[in-house]
Chain A
Amino acid sequence: MRIGLLADLHANREATEACMLALADAGCTQWVFLGDLVGYGADPEWLVDCAREQVAAGAIAVQGNHDAAVDDGSIQPMHEHARAALEWTRGRLDRSQREFLRGLPLQVVDADRLYAHASAAMPARWAYVSNALAAWQSLQATPQWLTLLGHVHDQAVYYTGATAQAIHFQPVAGAVLPLLPSRRWLAIVGSCGQPRDGNPAAACAWLDTGTRRLGFLRVPYDHERAAAKVVAAGLPRSLAQRLLQGR
């Protein structure tokens, strides 16, 4: 089975549609949403409805810090623009949509895999896995063979070495990694809705559970349209600029 992995979609409908199409082309028949469906982007209702529909059909979705903050804006200090986007998002979502976000689990264990938004070491503290040490801590917190995360917006892979440590590996776009069963793995699938590595193309990944391969994709999409919608919605212009520059 091939599973499409999407994280940090951030209410970006154009990017989400493009990634889901590309992943379906790659043979994905299942979906996992790794948190942050909303925040920053102009289409929160569409994103929530889309995820809700997929979850009803068997997909898995976990909660991200932006999803949680829709309901209680005070859990974590956020920078000014994120907070502005959050206020705006809250006003756009109806009660049932907000309830869907509130009801999302922090982590889901599925067979030999763990799905979460942030580090498995402190799921409710939204710790970033941005280096090998943080990856090691997260890997220590779960017996699962493979951990799939979002939160950090750049794609990355960490795996256990033969000694007690995690080793970082930087996948290139289009890379397909055979995941050795003898190691344990943690992968960050990259941000679909707000890439920050200087490349505006949306990021996503797929997992083939049969062959144990993990594929990393970058999907070009109409990011100018997504940026124009951010401006038209009256959201901070810097958020539109981010989409244009991928920063």
Chain B
Amino acid sequence: MPAVLQAGMQLGGFTLLQPLHEGGMATLWRVSHPDHGSSLLMKMPRVAYGESVSQVVGFEVERMLLPLLAGAHVPRFIASGDEGDQPWLVMEQVSGSTLRPLLDQAPIAPGRVAALGALAAIALADLHRQQVVHLDIKPSNLLLHRGADGNERIVLIDFGLSRHAQLPDLLAEQFHIPMGTAPYIAPEQVLGVRSDPRSDLFALGVTLYHLATAQRPFGFPGSQRGLRRRFYQDPVPPRSHVAAIPRWLQETILRCLEVDPDARHPTAAQLALDLQHPEQVTLTARAERLQRAGRIERARRWWRALGMEPERISARAAQAARAPLIMVALDLKQPDPALDLALRDTVQRLVATAPGARLACVTVLRTARIGLDSNIDAEGRNRHLKRLAGLRDWARTLALPDHRITFHVLESPDVADALIEYARNNAIDHLIMGARGVTGVRRLLGSVSARVVAEAGCTATVVRARGEAAATTSP
């Protein structure tokens, strides 16, 4: 490879257009290719003599993982190759800006922090589903992109420290020091555990804390000893920095920052659910805290940290992955006792087999396609509350603790649309709904459940009550 790269040069069929970034780890160029257009990014690690071997291995990791990743929350892989000694990787250039510049504007309004956190958690859920833990989540690796549909989403970038559960971990074999970015690294990562998706939740918690308060929860330690301080010293509660931060958000952020991964949200999807439904967050002592824990609590944290063994954490991480978000869709307008019973029975079995599972009880309040927004008038509000009470009543005998169940009344002119959108936006793992009997109208319109099953993008169970005749009275 030529010693100096210049615009107009060709590398593996790509034309170098413009250098974007001369980072510590890699050189980035905007490139074009006749077959792939011009919104492309070429990444080249520095391989000159004296460069750290970790940069090269990090690049190898990214080169191995990126082609395997798919979906809206990662940049699309285009090609990779070697030009002499110089390896290169080309990916789609995603428009938008990382969250890094936002740190300079912090503290950011709590509502915006929560919204950004939810987008990032959804992106992480998608990554974790593909068996990859990012392990270097921080504002500069979260790219905020506005899609063609006008919706914002987070695209995760830089997979140089990532780990795929079914592939060799090139980094673990080579380095025996903690790998990550000091302010964000999770305690278990400091111990060398590289397989727990909840490490990404910790790092996201640090990010949200920083955005909401303009402070780093664990400072910027420069030594191994400094890194370990997070094992026993809990962060200053966000509300003591910024009083306007609501309790629920403090609860959620501090839960992300728990030393013990088991005390955090079990999955990124569950964190996203909390960030999107503040009214449903169960508040604990974390929400009320206004100062750091005293010496006793510190001793407790320290004690717990002593018991952290990498092997045990890995085993528990596997268990946490079985913490599905279950959604049950209920039709409260046309009650059907037999179907209710069958639904409850199915839900009961599911939540019993997965102790980490959370249940979202959802119903749709049909609104007129055109006309007044019924939600703003008193009658609409009344109907909304009645449905909410109906949901709670249906779930009463399940006897689930508050932190395992949430209730949602959606308002939409189209029931199927509303359920599909909800399942997708909340990364629901398993959707359960009742099948209605077939009547003339339904035969004409097509069934809601058939559409939801086809389009919700998750596992779906349609429950039918025994004794079909009883269920045929619905419109």
* Residue contact A167 to B173, C-beta cutoff 8 Å: yes
* Residue contact A162 to B68, C-beta cutoff 8 Å: no
Task: For B166, give its contact among A163, A171, A180, A211 (CB under 8 Å).
Answer: A171
Chain A residues positioned under 8 Å from B63 (CB to CB): 180
CB under 8 Å from chain B, chain A span 174-202: 175-178, 180-183
> Is B219 among interface residues, defined by CB-CB distance under 8 A?
no
Least CB distance, A130 to chain B, in whole angstroms: 18
Least CB distance, B63 to chain A, in whole angstroms: 7
The interface size of chain A toward B, counting residues with CB under 8 Å, comes to: 18
* Residue contact B56 to A162, C-beta cutoff 8 Å: yes
- Complex interface bits, B160-195 against A, C-beta within 8 A gives 1, otherwise 0: 000000111010011000000000000000000000
> Is A159 among interface residues, defined by CB-CB distance under 8 A?
yes
A178 and B67 in contact (CB under 8 A), knowing A162-B53, A162-B57, A172-B166? Answer: yes
Least CB distance, A139 to chain B, in whole angstroms: 15
* Residue contact B173 to A182, C-beta cutoff 8 Å: no
Whose C-beta in chain A lies nearest to the C-beta of B85?
A182
* Residue contact A167 to B166, C-beta cutoff 8 Å: no
CB under 8 Å from chain A, chain B span 1-60: 53, 56-57, 60
* Residue contact A181 to B82, C-beta cutoff 8 Å: yes
Complexed CA–CA distance, A201 and B237 (Å): 55
> Is B64 among interface residues, defined by CB-CB distance under 8 A?
yes
Whose C-beta in chain A lies nearest to the C-beta of B66?
A178
The interface size of chain B toward A, counting residues with CB under 8 Å, comes to: 16
> Is A169 among interface residues, defined by CB-CB distance under 8 A?
yes
* Residue contact A177 to B56, C-beta cutoff 8 Å: no
> Is A86 among interface residues, defined by CB-CB distance under 8 A?
no
A169 and B56 in contact (CB under 8 A), knowing A161-B174, A180-B63, A182-B87? Answer: no
Whose C-beta in chain A lies nearest to the C-beta of B68?
A178
Chain B residues positioned under 8 Å from A157 (CB to CB): 168
Chain A residues positioned under 8 Å from B174 (CB to CB): 161-163
Chain B residues positioned under 8 Å from A181 (CB to CB): 82, 87
Least CB distance, B316 to chain A, in whole angstroms: 20
* Residue contact B167 to A177, C-beta cutoff 8 Å: yes
Complexed CA–CA distance, A211 and B77 (Å): 13
Whose C-beta in chain B lies nearest to the C-beta of A157?
B168
Looking at chain A's contact residues, the main secondary structure is loop
With a 10 A CB-CB cut-off, give which of A161, A167, A176, A178 has the most chain B CB atoms: A178
Complexed CA–CA distance, A159 and B60 (Å): 13
Whose C-beta in chain B lies nearest to the C-beta of A171?
B166
A178 and B64 in contact (CB under 8 A), knowing A162-B53, A162-B56, A167-B173? Answer: yes
Complexed CA–CA distance, A175 and B68 (Å): 12
CB under 8 Å from chain A, chain B span 65-80: 67-68
Complexed CA–CA distance, A178 and B166 (Å): 11
Whose C-beta in chain B lies nearest to the C-beta of A175?
B166
- Complex interface bits, A149-170 against B, C-beta within 8 A gives 1, otherwise 0: 0000000010101110001010
A167 and B60 in contact (CB under 8 A), knowing A161-B173, A161-B174? Answer: no
Chain A residues positioned under 8 Å from B173 (CB to CB): 161, 167
Complexed CA–CA distance, A144 and B94 (Å): 38
CB under 8 Å from chain A, chain B span 128-166: 166
Chain B residues positioned under 8 Å from A211 (CB to CB): 67
Chain A residues positioned under 8 Å from B68 (CB to CB): 176, 178
Chain B residues positioned under 8 Å from A180 (CB to CB): 60, 63-64, 170
Chain B residues positioned under 8 Å from A167 (CB to CB): 168, 173
* Residue contact A182 to B60, C-beta cutoff 8 Å: yes
Chain B residues positioned under 8 Å from A171 (CB to CB): 166
Whose C-beta in chain A lies nearest to the C-beta of B174?
A162
* Residue contact A159 to B166, C-beta cutoff 8 Å: no
Complexed CA–CA distance, A172 and B167 (Å): 9
Chain B residues positioned under 8 Å from A183 (CB to CB): 60
Whose C-beta in chain A lies nearest to the C-beta of B61?
A180
Complexed CA–CA distance, A167 and B64 (Å): 17
Complexed CA–CA distance, A162 and B170 (Å): 9
Chain B residues positioned under 8 Å from A177 (CB to CB): 167-168
Whose C-beta in chain B lies nearest to the C-beta of A213?
B67
Task: For B168, give its contact among A162, A163, A169, A182 (CB under 8 Å).
Answer: A169
Complexed CA–CA distance, A64 and B167 (Å): 29
Least CB distance, A113 to chain B, in whole angstroms: 18
- Complex interface bits, A109-133 against B, C-beta within 8 A gives 1, otherwise 0: 0000000000000000000000000
Chain A residues positioned under 8 Å from B168 (CB to CB): 157, 159, 167, 169, 177
Complexed CA–CA distance, A123 and B63 (Å): 34
Chain B residues positioned under 8 Å from A161 (CB to CB): 173-174
Chain B residues positioned under 8 Å from A182 (CB to CB): 56, 60, 82, 87
Least CB distance, B321 to chain A, in whole angstroms: 15
Least CB distance, A143 to chain B, in whole angstroms: 17
- Complex interface bits, A70-104 against B, C-beta within 8 A gives 1, otherwise 0: 00000000000000000000000000000000000
Least CB distance, A234 to chain B, in whole angstroms: 43
With a 10 A CB-CB cut-off, give which of B64, B67, B168, B174 has the most chain A CB atoms: B168
Chain B residues positioned under 8 Å from A162 (CB to CB): 53, 56-57, 174
Least CB distance, A17 to chain B, in whole angstroms: 28
Complexed CA–CA distance, A22 and B56 (Å): 37
Q: Which 10 A-B pairs have the closest CB atoms?
A: A169-B168, A175-B166, A167-B173, A178-B64, A162-B174, A162-B53, A180-B60, A172-B166, A180-B64, A182-B60
28 contacts between A and B (CB under 8 A): A157-B168, A159-B168, A161-B173, A161-B174, A162-B53, A162-B56, A162-B57, A162-B174, A163-B174, A167-B168, A167-B173, A169-B167, A175-B167, A176-B68, A177-B167, A177-B168, A178-B64, A178-B68, A178-B167, A180-B60, A180-B64, A180-B170, A181-B87, A182-B56, A182-B60, A182-B82, A183-B60, A211-B67
Given contacts A178-B67, A182-B56, 8 further A-B contacts (CB under 8 A): A161-B174, A163-B174, A167-B168, A169-B168, A171-B166, A172-B166, A176-B68, A177-B167
Residues of chain B at the chain A interface (Cβ within 8 Å) = 53, 56-57, 60, 63-64, 67-68, 82, 87, 166-168, 170, 173-174
